């Protein structure tokens, strides 16, 4: 058995000597200490040759900004929805209230978490078990999934942004989340201390969660008067309408709630064409479970291409956004940075190994709004992406993704059931293979 031995003086001296005898190391150190690794490792030829033109583009207007929050999954799903709403209302620019969606997502998560923990406590799950500790550490983050967003919109609808605008806490969620987390940790401690009081603890904590959210985010409207002037200058008035009625009237035609989440889980033990789910992952109790159909990455690309070309609507997706990203110029390509050449390190993990060894997981959600397709009509070459990081970076907030980057780092897309072959439709009717709460396929977009 290998022992954990000290890094002794002789070993350290050899490391120092080996570093000094290589001129490349000195040049790399001089460059990186002065300019930073990304500027030094940036592949100049790849960056300049990555085209920003596409055979199909869906114009979705001004890029949105999630600020210092992890609400990308809400922003991106509402960016898909706003495209539909703009078309139905004849508007060039429109934005839904992401604050409204977050308010009810977090309120529902308070209830979901408390009821989930109560069931575990009543079943005898120890407080120091891996599961309970994972749930305690993960509670009240901002991240989420497409299905979780649809659960919120189906139950609570949506409102225009100017009727429930951003607050200091919606734009910078850290302190609010800390207080919610402390409150829920306290509630769990009280439930463990006195299991007979679980019902009263849940009621008290739910009320506290509602107070905290309303203090930080404001009181969301139950109904509102809606009127607007379309892009042709024509005035319209709906009168009083509820958020659910508003959603159903202006977004319901797209039937986004019935979309299926396709995922590319590259691990060999998880068969393609089978449905998978994550234990204890959800937000709205009684809503649709967070499940995915595991499919080849190529099938995901074909679905996205068809939606963009045939339906002309943005497509929600989740990816590991950090590797090989030029944030300022708005680009992703697998060879955009040559870190290995700077460090003389061989970063040789494939997609399966990166997932298995915690090097990669889905962490950000965006929307595809364009694709460039080769003359054969099927081969995809690059993708246009609507991000939610504002319009001061990239191409006014829109990014370009190479097709090989899609292969390596895109994990999930939401698509209509109508695009699925019969074998996949049958798979949706089968029970999901449930994975533990800490499985990398349960990673949330933030």
Q: Which residue is it, tokens 């460059």? A: 31
178 within domain boundaries: yes
Instruction: Give 414-441 pLDDT, tens digit per residue.
Output: 999 999 999 999 999 999 999 999 999 9
Of 60, 72, 294, 303, which residue is the catalytic one? 72
Q: What angle do CA 299, 402, 294 make, to 5 degrees?
A: 25
Known catalytic membership, residue 363 = no
Q: What is the pLDDT of residue 321?
A: 98
Q: Which of 294, 297, 364, 378 is catalytic?
A: 364
Domain annotation covers residue 1: no
Q: CB atoms < 10 A from the CB of 244, how many?
A: 16
333 pLDDT band (50/70/90 cuts)?
A: very high
pLDDT tens, residue by residue, 17-26: 999 999 999 9
Total-model pTM: 0.97
**pLDDT at residue 79 in the model:** 98
Note if 216 is an active site residue.
Answer: no
pLDDT-based confidence at residue 126 (cuts at 50, 70, 90): very high
Alpha helices in 145-197 (DSSP H): 146-156, 168-171, 174-193
pLDDT at 5: 94
Active site includes 364? yes
Residue 135's domain comprises 56-221+236-442
pLDDT the model gives residue 146: 98
At 34-56, the pLDDT tens digits run: 999 999 999 999 999 999 999 99
Average pLDDT over residues 289-296: 97
DSSP structure class, residue 309: I
How many C-beta atoms surround the C-beta of residue 219 within 10 A? Answer: 10
Residue 383 confidence (pLDDT): 98
Q: What is the CATH number of the domain that holds 384?
A: 3.90.70.10
What's the domain count of the chain?
1
Q: How far is CA 306 from the centre of its chain?
A: 22
pLDDT at 67: 98
Among candidate residues 211, 170, 161, the one with its CA nearest the CA of residue 70: 170
- Domain membership of residue 3 (yes or no) is no
In a domain? residue 24: no
Q: Can you give the pLDDT at residue 323?
A: 98
Three-class SS state of 436: coil
Asked, for residue 23, whether it belongs to a domain, the answer is: no
- Confirm whether 13 is domain-assigned: no
Percentage of the chain lying above the pLDDT 70 cut: 100
Q: Which helix (H) or strand (E) holds 278?
A: strand 274-278
pLDDT, tens digit, for every residue of 336-358?
999 999 999 999 999 999 999 99
Angstrom CA distances, 389 to 69, 173, 261, stand at 10, 15, 24
Q: Name every residue whose Cβ is closer than 8 Å to that of residue 407 and which is 6 or more positions away in sequence.
A: 297, 351
Tell me whether residue 5 is in a domain: no
If you average pLDDT over every residue of the chain, what do you get?
98
Query: Does residue 291 belong to any structural domain of this protein?
Result: yes
**Do residues 88 and 254 touch, judged by C-beta distance below 8 A?**
no
- Determine the average pLDDT of the residues in 315-325: 98
Rounded CA separation 272/292 (Å):
11
Read off the pLDDT of residues 159-191 as tens digits, 9 standing for 90 and up.
999 999 999 999 999 999 999 999 999 999 999
- Of these residues, 60, 283, 297, 387, which one is catalytic? 387
């Amino acid at each position: 058995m290998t022992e954990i031995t000290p890094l002794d003086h002789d070993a350290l001296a050899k490391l120092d000597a080996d570093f000094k005898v290589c001129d490349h190391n000195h040049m790399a150190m001089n460059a990186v200490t002065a300019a930073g690794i990304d500027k030094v490792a940036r592949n100049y030829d790849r960056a300049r040759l990555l085209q920003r033109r596409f055979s199909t583009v869906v114009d979705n207007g001004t890029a949105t900004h999630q600020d210092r929050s992890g609400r990308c999954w809400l922003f991106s799903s509402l960016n898909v929805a706003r495209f539909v709403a703009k078309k139905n209302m004849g508007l060039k620019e429109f934005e839904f209230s992401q604050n409204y969606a977050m308010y009810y997502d977090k309120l529902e998560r308070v209830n979901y978490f408390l009821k989930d923990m109560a069931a575990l406590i009543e079943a005898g799950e120890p407080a120091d078990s891996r599961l309970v500790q994972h749930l305690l550490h993960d509670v009240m983050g901002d991240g989420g999934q497409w299905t979780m967003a649809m659960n919120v919109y189906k139950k609570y609808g949506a409102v225009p942004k100017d009727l429930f605008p951003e607050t200091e806490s919606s734009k910078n969620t850290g302190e609010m989340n800390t207080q919610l987390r402390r409150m829920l940790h306290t509630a769990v401690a009280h439930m463990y201390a006195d299991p007979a009081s679980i019902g009263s603890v849940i009621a008290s904590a739910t009320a506290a969660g509602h107070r905290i959210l309303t203090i930080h985010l404001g009181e969301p409207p139950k109904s509102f008067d809606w009127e607007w002037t379309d892009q042709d200058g024509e005035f319209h008035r709906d009168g009083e309408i509820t958020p659910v009625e508003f959603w159903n009237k202006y977004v319901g035609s797209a039937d986004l709630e019935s979309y299926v989440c396709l995922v590319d889980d590259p691990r060999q033990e998880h068969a393609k064409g089978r449905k998978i789910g994550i234990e204890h992952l959800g937000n709205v109790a009684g809503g649709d479970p967070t499940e995915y159909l595991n499919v080849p990455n190529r099938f995901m690309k074909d679905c996205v291409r068809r939606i963009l070309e045939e339906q002309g609507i943005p497509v929600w997706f989740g990816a590991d956004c950090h590797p090989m990203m030029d944030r300022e110029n708005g680009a992703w390509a697998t060879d955009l940075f040559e870190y290995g050449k700077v460090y003389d390190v061989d970063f040789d993990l494939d997609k399966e190994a990166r997932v298995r060894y915690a090097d990669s997981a889905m962490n950000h959600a965006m929307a595809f709004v364009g694709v460039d397709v080769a003359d054969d009509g099927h081969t995809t070459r690059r993708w246009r992406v609507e991000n939610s990081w504002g319009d001061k970076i990239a191409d006014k907030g829109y990014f370009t993704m190479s097709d090989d980057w899609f292969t390596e780092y895109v994990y999930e897309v939401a698509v209509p059931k109508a695009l699925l072959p019969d074998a996949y439709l049958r798979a949706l009717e089968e029970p999901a293979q449930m994975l533990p709460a800490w499985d990398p396929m349960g990673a949330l977009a933030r």
